[in-house]
Amino acid sequence: MAAVLAVNGCAEVENLLQFCNISKERIRVEEQKEFTSPKEPTLTFSSGETVTGMRTVGAYLFRISPRKLLGGSALERALVDQWMEYCQSHLESSLQDGTLIKGELRYLDKSLSRTVYLVGCQLTLADIMLYYALHPLMLELSVQEKEQFINLSRWFNQVQYYPGVRQYLPEVSFLRNMLYS
């Protein structure tokens, strides 16, 4: 029997499921499940055990996926976990409280100044989770604001064109030439 994934309004988890290329025989998707919090996906196994939360469900999906994006070494796996925790704890609260978001964007821009992706030179689950979390915000930023965060913009643009990541989400446009200084 397939595990049941209750999406609960969390579109990102459906994107992850599709990106992970997991068959419908393994995981069946439902829109809502009773007694769960909104925006928190829940995965219920045939044994009756349940895991809840975007980070937990996302990590499980990538563990059973043919795609290996959780890091190749113990250090890389720890860094992926660290960035996923950052997305869940710091970034989500900053996105809700709009006054703190510029500081978080500066932090991300600085962190991405010395690397291609969040964890070295290959795409990981942390990149995908951060991409989905930032997508609505990046859509709203002006050209000038995107240019202030040039490393973040470079990373975001690179991730959005990684095959299978963006899916149905609208493309975020970036200028190729700096217009402002």
> What per-residue confidence (pLDDT) applies to 1?
62
Residue 136 amino acid letter: P
> What per-residue confidence (pLDDT) applies to 20?
83
- Return per-residue pLDDT of the chain as tens, 181 residues: 688 888 877 777 878 888 888 877 888 888 765 545 556 888 899 888 998 888 888 888 888 887 778 888 899 999 999 999 898 888 877 777 776 788 899 999 999 999 999 998 999 999 999 999 899 999 999 989 999 999 999 999 999 999 989 988 899 998 766 555 5
Structure tokens at 130: 């951060």
Q: Give the count of alpha carbons within 13 A of 97, CB side only.
A: 9
Residue with token string 């070494």? 73
> What per-residue confidence (pLDDT) applies to 113?
95
Q: Indicate if the alpha-carbon torsion angle 111, 100, 40, 138 is positive or negative.
A: negative
**What is the fold of 74-161?**
Glutathione S-transferase Yfyf (Class Pi); Chain A, domain 2 (1.20.1050)
> What per-residue confidence (pLDDT) applies to 35?
47
Exposure class string for 146-175: b at 16+ Cβ within 10 A, else e:
bbebeebbbbbbbbbeeeebbeebeebebe
**Ranges of each domain in the chain:** 3-64, 74-161
CA 49 to chain centre: 25
Whole-number Å distance between alpha carbons of 75 and 68? 15
